[in-house]
Amino acid sequence: MLKGIDLVINAELIHALMLMGHGDQLVLCDINHPAQTIARHTTYGRLIDLSGCGLERAAEAILKLFPLDTFVDAPVKRMQVVGDPEKQMPIFSAMQTVVDRAEVRPIRMDALERFAFYEAAQNSFAIVRTSDPGPYGCFIFSKGVI
């Protein structure tokens, strides 16, 4: 046990976060995302599970340790709703609130079409799957510097 690290952050997740460098990307997703399949293609190469944890809680814990990239316009990406790319799901605004609060400033969040999101996820450093039931709880965070 370490002081000051949220109990949501398990040993594997802290290891992956420590390995990541500036510009690397971390996927945080719900239980519906094909995370196991896609995780094999990431730099880390395997899925990191946060069983029993929802998206907002996981993001709050991660973003206490993980600075978002200030050198890109949109350091957070999310998946668009299939067939209705303008539709707003409740998780989108909930995650926007978490991200803005963590960075103490408004953060731009861009939307990616489903298969573009999957491709970006494959090119990420690691995938963290929560137990959140979703739908559309799929986000990519770009790591910045301290």
* Contacts for 9 with CB less than 8 Å, ≥ 6 apart: 17, 61, 62, 65
Q: What is the pLDDT of residues 89-141, one digit of tens each?
A: 999 999 999 999 999 999 999 999 999 999 999 999 999 999 999 999 999 99
Asked if the structure places residue 68 within a domain, the reply is yes
112 and 80 in contact (C-beta within 8 Å)?
yes
Asked if the structure places residue 144 within a domain, the reply is no
Domain tally, the chain: 1
pTM of the model: 0.96
78 and 109 in contact (C-beta within 8 Å)?
yes
Asked if the structure places residue 93 within a domain, the reply is yes
Does the annotation mark 44 as catalytic?
no
| Set 6, 15, 22, 110: catalytic member | 22
Asked if the structure places residue 2 within a domain, the reply is no
| Set 24, 30, 49, 69: catalytic member | 69
116 and 13 in contact (C-beta within 8 Å)?
no
Asked if the structure places residue 105 within a domain, the reply is yes
Asked if the structure places residue 3 within a domain, the reply is no
Does the annotation mark 22 as catalytic?
yes
Does the annotation mark 100 as catalytic?
no
The model's confidence at residue 2, banded by pLDDT at 50, 70 and 90, is confident
Asked if the structure places residue 5 within a domain, the reply is no
Full residue range of the structural domain in which residue 48 is found: 11-138
CATH number at residue 111: 3.40.1650.10
